[in-house]
Amino acid sequence: MDNYEFTNNWFETSAKAIWSQLFNQTKPKKILEIGSYEGASTCFLIEKLSLYHDSFEIYAIDTWDGGVEHKEMKINMKLVEERFHKNTSLAIKNSSKKIELKTFKDKSINTLSKLITNQKSNYFDFIYIDGSHMASDVLSDAILSFELLKINGIIGFDDYLWKLPNSNNLLTNPKIAIDSFTNIFALRSAIFRTPNHQVYIKKTN
Ligand SMILES: C[S@@+](CC[C@H](N)C(=O)[O-])C[C@H]1O[C@@H](n2cnc3c(N)ncnc32)[C@H](O)[C@@H]1O
């Protein structure tokens, strides 16, 4: 699709090839995404899932305030947010399917907790965690998302090996949180793919 406005190729070079293959097999209908930015991943979800379903739901959570790394790069997050709305509106307009896109402009910990309170436990087929990269945030995103995920549903983590530039502190990176989560939830989940610095787990019980 030529008319989208994306200023980076993060999604193209990380999840796109994996999702193309994964969704052919799993065809998720209820998706939650933490960290939507300009909507590259959201637009792909809209285009791809339109091939399989007459209707589907996407919940997109973002503060649109940027992470530490975006603040250092002095990115104008107001423009990023505007591009998210423009891009996803275009994707929805170009699809003939009934798409429920719900956006939550808040910290993921707040939205995920509210979704649990609002009876959305065991609801989602696929959850993508690509919000804050700080270990404590990734860990809370993982634990709350696991509660919201159906049995046999899948969580994808981006940036397993990402490091905050100029920092040697492990707590500013996702890896220690993803490792802790996968270890502690090992009896209830299975790791089934780790391509392109990403980790995918399935909820088994
Ligand atoms: C790396 S970008 C997401 C990229 C997007 N998934 C893509 O593929 O194009 C991370 C996003 O997470 C958001 N974010 C950072 N901390 C957050 C938090 N605690 N809760 C919700 N969103 C957060 C930022 O505003 C930013 O837009």
4 lines ligand 1 (CB under 6 A): no
CATH of the domain at 160: 3.40.50.150
Instruction: Classify residue 21: in a domain, yes or no.
Output: no
With a 6 Å cutoff on the Cβ, whether 28 touches ligand 1 is: no
> Residue 98 pairs with which residues in a beta bridge?
55
pLDDT at residue number 144: 98
60 CB near ligand 1 (under 6 Å)? no
Distance from the alpha carbon of residue 132 to the mean position of ligand 1, in angstroms: 6
Residue 15 lies in a domain: no
Asked if residue 9 belongs to a domain, the reply is: no
**Assigned domain for 95 exists:** yes
Q: Which of 61, 51, 128, 54 is nearest to 101 (CA)?
A: 61
State whether the beta carbon of 11 lies less than 6 angstroms from ligand 1.
yes
Find the domain containing 194 and state its range. 32-203
Task: Tell me, yes or no, whether 6 lies in a domain.
Answer: no
Evaluate whether residue 97 is within a structural domain: yes
Residues listed for the chain? 205
146 lines ligand 1 (CB under 6 A): no
pLDDT tens, residue by residue, 12-67: 999 999 999 999 999 999 999 999 999 999 999 999 999 999 999 999 999 999 98
Percent helix, strand and coil across the chain, each rounded to 5?
40, 20, 40
Predicted pLDDT at 39: 98
Tally of domains in the chain? 1
Cα 187 to middle of ligand 1, angstroms: 29
Residue 74 resides in a domain = yes
22 lies in a domain? no
Closest CA to 128 of 30, 55, 9: 30
Q: Give Cα separations from 9 to 126, 129, 183, 185 (angstroms).
A: 22, 17, 31, 32
Pocket test for ligand 1, best of 8, 32, 44, 62 (most atoms within 8 A of CB): 62
d(C-alpha 53, C-alpha 51), whole Å? 6
Please state the atom number of ligand 1 nearest to the C-alpha of residue 40.
Answer: 9
Per-residue pLDDT tens digits for 107-142: 999 999 999 999 999 999 999 999 999 999 999 999
111 token code pair: 């939205």
Is there an atom of ligand 1 within 6 Å of 108 CB? yes
